[in-house]
Amino acid sequence: MGPSMLPTFNLTGDLVAVNKVPTWWGQLNKGDVVLMRSPENPRKHIVKRVLGVEGEMVTYLVDPANSNTTKTVMVPEGHIWVQGDYIHSSNDSRNFGPVPRGLVEGTIFCRIWPPENMGLIESKVNPYEPTN
């Protein structure tokens, strides 16, 4: 998966379970982690977190190193806004814009390998806030 989803997933690779049903029914929620085709290269799969769904306004950091550089966009109908949990190393909607829902192949709901990290993937509306 690469560094864009740290610390949710590790760099050496996690084996995850993907639920394809929500995408058939049109149920994608803010905070979901999705497996999708890259809008820049459809041969490549990427994993990102949904931070906005159609009709919502999303405010994002244009430059993660400068918290004063924000921009607000409206997520158009039939699209979602996705970002990596580690925005300092993520190519996401901040770069390629809102993503057509049709590129989403499923939601990642559980890590099954490595065994010591097995468990459900937490849905986070704001993955950038530290957890206690």
Residue ranges of the domains in the chain? 3-118
4 catalytic per annotation: yes
The rounded percent of the chain whose pLDDT value lies above 70 is 80
* Res. 2: pLDDT tops 50: yes
- Coil, helix or strand at residue 88: helix
State the pLDDT at residue 74. 95
Residue 76 sits at the vertex; the CA angle it makes with 66 and 54, to the nearest 5 degrees, is 90
Q: Give the active site residue among 4, 38, 44, 67.
A: 4
Q: In whole numbers, what is the pLDDT of the chain averaged over residues? A: 81
Its pTM stands at 0.82
Closest by Cα among 33, 10, 19 to 113: 10
Q: What is the assigned CATH class of domain 3-118?
A: mainly beta
Q: Distance (Å, rounded) from C-alpha 68 to C-alpha 10?
A: 29
* Res. 130: pLDDT tops 50: no
Q: Give the active site residue among 20, 30, 38, 48.
A: 48
Please provide the DSSP assignment of 65-98 as one string.
T-TT-EEEEEPPTTEEEEE-SSGGG--SHHHH-S
123 catalytic per annotation: no
Which structure tokens are listed for 87?
Answer: 């925005």
- List pLDDT tens digits, range 16-62: 767 887 665 667 889 899 989 999 998 999 889 999 999 999 988 88
